Amino acid sequence: MITKISSRELNQDVGKAKKAAQQGPVLITDRGRPAHVLLTYEAFERLSKQTPTLAECLSMQGLSDIEFEPAKLSMSAKPAAFD
């Protein structure tokens, strides 16, 4: 569950925001636009340690929907100059 609060509300009651972060991320807005996210340290650690392997990345759902047309490489070799 994501809780949304304004930066003004955060300044007025930090404790309330910290309690909300125990339940899930707290989205902090500035002038109605998302600006920051408050997480517990445990949640931050979980997110920062999640580094998928190459195999996991390649097996993600929806990858076949992505159009990918790599540029062709030009492998023209030039002789080395030993002067």
Which residues lie closer than 8 Å to 24 by C-beta, 6 or more apart? Answer: 1, 2, 3
Evaluate whether residue 16 is within a structural domain: yes
Evaluate whether residue 14 is within a structural domain: yes
Evaluate whether residue 62 is within a structural domain: no
CA 21 to CA 18: how far, in whole Å? 5
Evaluate whether residue 63 is within a structural domain: no
26 burial (CB, 10 Å; 0-12 / 13-18 / 19+) is: buried
* Structure tokens given for 20: 């909300």
Q: State the pLDDT at residue 54.
A: 81
Evaluate whether residue 21 is within a structural domain: yes
**Whole domain around residue 23: which residue ranges?**
3-56
Evaluate whether residue 69 is within a structural domain: no
Count of domains observed in the chain: 1
Evaluate whether residue 18 is within a structural domain: yes
Can you name the residues that pair with 55 across neighbouring β-strands?
none
Per-residue pLDDT of the chain (83 residues; tens, 9 = 90+): 899 999 999 999 999 999 999 999 999 999 999 999 999 999 998 888 877 788 887 887 877 777 778 788 777 777 778 87
Q: State the pLDDT at residue 64.
A: 73
Q: State the pLDDT at residue 67.
A: 79
Evaluate whether residue 27 is within a structural domain: yes
Question: Whole-structure pTM over 0.75, yes or no?
Answer: no
